[in-house]
Structure 1
Amino acid sequence: MIGIKNLTGGYGNKPVIQNVNFSLEKGEFFGLLGPNGSGKTTLFKLITGALPAAGGEITVDGKPLSGFSKLEKARMIAVLTQEAHVSFDFTVEEIVSLGRYAFQKGLFKSLSRQDRKVIDDVMELTGVTKYRDTQFRLISGGEKQRVLLAKALAQEPKIMLLDEPTNHLDVKHSFHMLDLLKEWQREYGLTVFAILHDLNVAALYADRVALLHEGSFLKTGGVDILRDESLLRQVYEVDVKSQPHPYVPKPQLLMTPEEKADPQKDHFSRSYRVRQNEGLIHIEFNDPLRTISNGVTGEGIQWLNHFCNFHVNKNYDGGDPVDDMTNWMANQGIPPEKAAGMMTAVKLEDMVLLEKEYEGIRLLAMVTAGVGNAVDITSEELDSEIGKIGTINIMVFLDSHFTDGALVNACLSATEAKTKALQDLNIKDPYTGTIATGTSTDSLLIGTTQKVERTPYAGSGTVAGKAIGTAVYDAVTGAVRKYEKRQRRS
């Protein structure tokens, strides 16, 4: 729909934009990205005609933009800039009404019934109806931005050109504006070209993006190009980490500050405290650890300080375990937002707490174990009536720096070690009589200090994997033997 060919221009004799080429398809949301000084606003002014081009061509549907009359452009293209300056003291409704000027007929350009309906509709959509009779100069910057969006929508454009459209808007209204633009894009085939300074917003809303670097496009493509961390470092000159959004298949970016190692950091054995009673094992670290877990709370990959293993009655109904555990933590003075939690019906005094060093890797392992509901996961038979005390809860903390992949490796290493311990202990699935691989309610957590040299691997063939495996094997073996000894006494 829009074609840009060899576009060049700037201020004075030195062009800021140099031979830029790209095209926008009908109904596409195109995001222009780049740091300050890269030429984004200059390119925007060239496309809107606010700045004359020194060379190149801009076409709409194959026709040069210069060949359209001002009235034709107004019926086709709406422009929303960062500036919210209005020379005259208009009311909000009068500002929005200006968007209908190109559609008004007759010598005196009066508003028709249809014009008034469009004005009312877009004011309602943008949430500015309540300011209808308020003078534009008296409303806030964010409210002005929404009024100008309403004016642009009142044009019923085919093309929307936006220069940082969420400027002055809070989070709520930023997302409301972008959701509205996406709705118009889908329902009316609106083509959107937007300068966006927030990479995460661009990743969520744009269909394609371009990275502008020193007046030229460094790369253009789908938002997945924002997964290229080296490319982003080149453009923005900061350390950028890309990660997937948890709910939509889009990347999200994290800026990483430069940090220097602290020579006074705690020795690993002095970096944590353990508190234990009949109802709780609480391990607290001075600094947050990078964790991966399937616990009741703190699940997934997190940064956490507090690690809890609560004792529950074997008849605990588990109606809302997350809410229950959050309340238990709060009652113990433990901040739930900084904590991971597990639960077990086994006696906490039978815990095994093992601190060791393996080939230079210091670690701490905590295990509580019951095997009354041990299962063989390879068996197709399922016992839905198992109600005996069980659960193997494993926490492993390492003075290591793991990538996310290494955290997953660590889970595999710990699980393999647990299964080997059960095999050597001859623990069987009481329903099938075959060797058990775990229990039906096992929980696992791996935590790392992230304060030493980074490693991408922690599988069974690595030093880190062996450290985890040997510690988990010994701790599970010891905890199961304590459980069996108690069972024999009862």
Structure 2
Amino acid sequence: MINLKGISGGYAQPPTINRLDLQINKGEFFTLLGPNGSGKTTLFKLITGQLLISEGGVYIDGKNIATLSKIEKAKLMAVLTQENKVAFDYTVEEIVSLGRYPHQKGILKNLTKKDLAVIEEVMELTYISDFRKTAFRRMSGGEKQRVLLAKALAQEPEILLLDEPTNHLDIKHVFQMLDLLKKRQEKFGLTVFAILHDLNVASLYADRIAFLHNGNILEVGDVGILRKEDQLKKVYDVELKSRAHPTLPKPQLIMTPSYTVSNTLDFNKSYRIKQTKEYIHVEFKHPLRTISNGVIGEGIQWLKHFCNFHVTKDYNCSEPKSDLQSRMIKHSIPHEQAVGMMTAVVLEDAVFLEDEFEGIPMMAVVTAGTGNAVDITNKSNTGAIQTVGTINIFLFIDAHFSDGALVNGIMSATEAKVKALQDLKIKDSQSNTIATGTSTDSILLGLTQQGEKTPYAGSGTIVGKGIGQIVYSATKKAVKKYLQRVHEEQWL
């Protein structure tokens, strides 16, 4: 729909924008990214006619916009910039009504019923109806921006050009604005060409992205190009780490400062443990890089508090996460910074094991019950087993793991747990085969991230073998304690 063919122009010599080519498709949300000084706003002004094009042209559906009248341009496209100044002291409704000017006919340019309906609709869409009689100059920067968006939408354009339109908006109104534009894009085929400075917001809303670097298009593509960390480094000259959004198939960028935090820890003095009949709480002085399937704190995170709470054997709660949060609040444990697990095992039987493998300190905390032990490979186990029992494992390591090594570490720990159950001949009660775990096992690996980064922690590595040995020993001891207690209770 929009074709920029070899355009040049700008304030400087040589021109800021030099023979640039770019195509924007009809009905897409296209975002231009680049640092300050890269030429984004200059390019925007060349497209909108605020600056003269010295070479090349801008074409919309094959027509050079230089041949279009102002009214024709206004019917075709609307512009929203980061500037929100208005020369006259208009009310909100008066400013929005200016957006209907290109569609009005005759000398007097009176508003028709359709004009009034469109004005009302866009004010509702942009949440400014209550301000209709308010003087524009009395509004906040964010409110003004929403008024100017309503004015642009009142034009009913085919193309909407946005120059960093969210600069004056708080997070709520940024998402309100962009959600609105995405809906208009999908419903009416609106073409959006936006300059955005927030890479993460651009990733969430753009269909395609272009990097502008020193006045030239460096690369054009879908949001997947935001995964190219080397390219991002070239464009922005800072370290950026690309990560997956937790719920959307979109990358998100994490900024990495150049300074380094020097918190050298003495691992054996870096944590404290509180153990009661109700809970075990391991607290570290500094956050650890963690991977877990706990009720709270699941996934890969940075956390400081690690809790295992005792529940009754008949515990049945539809909201275990909320329940666990309430328990932590009761004991002044910040659940936002915690991994939380639950067990019906008597916490006095927990095993605490410290060891060192080839100079790598580790500490394991394991509670174990095997009342609901299962063989995951057995086909006869088709329903949930309700017998109480679980194996909860905390493993803390004074080492620096990549995310891949964290996954390796979980695999190594799981293999060790399974070997312990095998050697103890723990069986699935339904199939009478050797169990591979229980139906509610939980595990946590926490790393200090000190020292040289290791990309692997599998069975073929020193640290992987260390994980295997300490988890095997601690799990075996915890299961033996559990079996001994069950035996004693049967004789009472």
The TM-score bracket by the shorter chain reads over 0.9
Q: Does the Cα contact within 8 Å between 1:96 and 1:148 map onto a contact in 2?
A: yes
Equivalenced residue count is 489
Q: 1:410-464, CA deviations, whole angstroms, 9 ceiling, x for partnerless residues?
A: 1111100100111111111111110010011111111111122212211111122
Q: Distance in 2 between matches of 1:90 and 1:280?
A: 64
The aligned residue for residue 56 of structure 2 is: 56
Q: Read off the aligned partner of 1:43 and give its amino acid letter.
A: L
| CA shift for structure 1 position 110 | 1.2
The equivalences for 1:19-34 within 5 A come to: 19-34=19-34
The aligned residue for residue 265 of structure 1 is: 264
Q: Read off the aligned partner of 1:220 and give its amino acid letter.
A: V
Query: For structure 1, which runs of at least 5 residues remain unmatched after alignment?
Result: none
Q: Distance in 2 between matches of 1:476 and 1:176?
A: 51
| CA shift for structure 1 position 386 | 4.4
| CA shift for structure 1 position 356 | 1.0
Q: Distance in 2 between matches of 1:387 and 1:287?
A: 38
Q: Read off the aligned partner of 1:287 and give its amino acid letter.
A: H
Q: Distance in 2 between matches of 1:183 and 1:387?
A: 46
| CA shift for structure 1 position 385 | 7.5
Describe the shift of the 1:436–1:43 C-alpha distance in structure 2 as closer, same or farther (beyond 3 A): same
Indicate the SS of the match to 1:51: coil
Describe the shift of the 1:239–1:385 C-alpha distance in structure 2 as closer, same or farther (beyond 3 A): closer
The aligned residue for residue 393 of structure 1 is: 392
| CA shift for structure 1 position 347 | 1.3
Q: Distance in 2 between matches of 1:386 and 1:208?
A: 49
Q: Does the Cα contact within 8 Å between 2:291 and 2:406 map onto a contact in 1?
A: yes
The aligned residue for residue 226 of structure 2 is: 226
The aligned residue for residue 293 of structure 1 is: 292
Q: Does the Cα contact within 8 Å between 1:383 and 1:431 map onto a contact in 2?
A: no
Describe the shift of the 1:386–1:56 C-alpha distance in structure 2 as closer, same or farther (beyond 3 A): closer
Q: Distance in 2 between matches of 1:326 and 1:177?
A: 34
| CA shift for structure 1 position 261 | 4.9
| CA shift for structure 1 position 12 | 4.1
| CA shift for structure 1 position 14 | 2.6
The aligned residue for residue 281 of structure 1 is: 280
The aligned residue for residue 304 of structure 1 is: 303
Describe the shift of the 1:261–1:106 C-alpha distance in structure 2 as closer, same or farther (beyond 3 A): closer
Indicate the SS of the match to 2:325: helix
| CA shift for structure 1 position 260 | 2.5
Compute the RMSD of aligned alpha carbons.
Answer: 1.3
Query: For structure 2, which runs of at least 5 residues remain unmatched after alignment?
Result: none
| CA shift for structure 1 position 382 | 2.0
Q: Does the Cα contact within 8 Å between 2:345 and 2:367 map onto a contact in 1?
A: yes
Q: Does the Cα contact within 8 Å between 2:385 and 2:439 map onto a contact in 1?
A: no
The aligned residue for residue 441 of structure 1 is: 440
Describe the shift of the 1:176–1:386 C-alpha distance in structure 2 as closer, same or farther (beyond 3 A): closer
Q: Distance in 2 between matches of 1:33 and 1:94?
A: 34
The equivalences for 1:193-232 within 5 A come to: 193-232=193-232
Describe the shift of the 1:28–1:332 C-alpha distance in structure 2 as closer, same or farther (beyond 3 A): same
Q: Does the Cα contact within 8 Å between 1:397 and 1:446 map onto a contact in 2?
A: yes
The aligned residue for residue 127 of structure 1 is: 127
Among all aligned residue pairs of Structure 1 and Structure 2, give the percentage whose two residues are the same amino acid.
Answer: 61
Q: Does the Cα contact within 8 Å between 2:292 and 2:298 map onto a contact in 1?
A: yes
User: What is the TM-score with the length of structure 2 in the denominator?
Assistant: 0.97
Q: Read off the aligned partner of 1:150 and give its amino acid letter.
A: A
Q: Distance in 2 between matches of 1:355 and 1:261?
A: 27
The aligned residue for residue 45 of structure 1 is: 45
Indicate the SS of the match to 1:35: coil
The answer to whether residue 368 in structure 2 is matched with residue 362 in structure 1 is no
The equivalences for 1:377-416 within 5 A come to: 377-382=376-381, 384=383, 386-416=385-415
Q: Distance in 1 between matches of 2:315 and 2:92?
A: 60
Describe the shift of the 1:102–1:397 C-alpha distance in structure 2 as closer, same or farther (beyond 3 A): same
Q: Distance in 1 between matches of 2:20 and 2:237?
A: 22
Q: Does the Cα contact within 8 Å between 1:240 and 1:253 map onto a contact in 2?
A: yes
Q: Read off the aligned partner of 1:31 and give its amino acid letter.
A: T
Indicate the SS of the match to 2:390: strand
Runs of 4+ in structure 1 over 6 Å off: none
The answer to whether residue 76 in structure 2 is matched with residue 76 in structure 1 is yes
| CA shift for structure 1 position 265 | 2.2
The aligned residue for residue 330 of structure 1 is: 329
Q: Distance in 1 between matches of 2:401 and 2:73?
A: 56
Q: Read off the aligned partner of 2:82 and give its amino acid letter.
A: Q
The equivalences for 1:434-473 within 5 A come to: 434-473=433-472
The equivalences for 1:313-328 within 5 A come to: 313-328=312-327
Indicate the SS of the match to 1:451: coil
Q: Does the Cα contact within 8 Å between 1:367 and 1:393 map onto a contact in 2?
A: yes
The answer to whether residue 136 in structure 2 is matched with residue 172 in structure 1 is no
Q: Distance in 1 between matches of 2:321 and 2:384?
A: 23
Q: Does the Cα contact within 8 Å between 2:352 and 2:365 map onto a contact in 1?
A: yes
User: What is the TM-score with the length of structure 1 in the denominator?
Assistant: 0.98
Indicate the SS of the match to 1:390: coil
| CA shift for structure 1 position 266 | 2.4
Q: Distance in 1 between matches of 2:351 and 2:58?
A: 72
| CA shift for structure 1 position 401 | 1.6
Q: Read off the aligned partner of 2:257 and give its amino acid letter.
A: P
Q: Distance in 1 between matches of 2:12 and 2:478?
A: 78
- More moved, 316-325 vs 87-96: 316-325
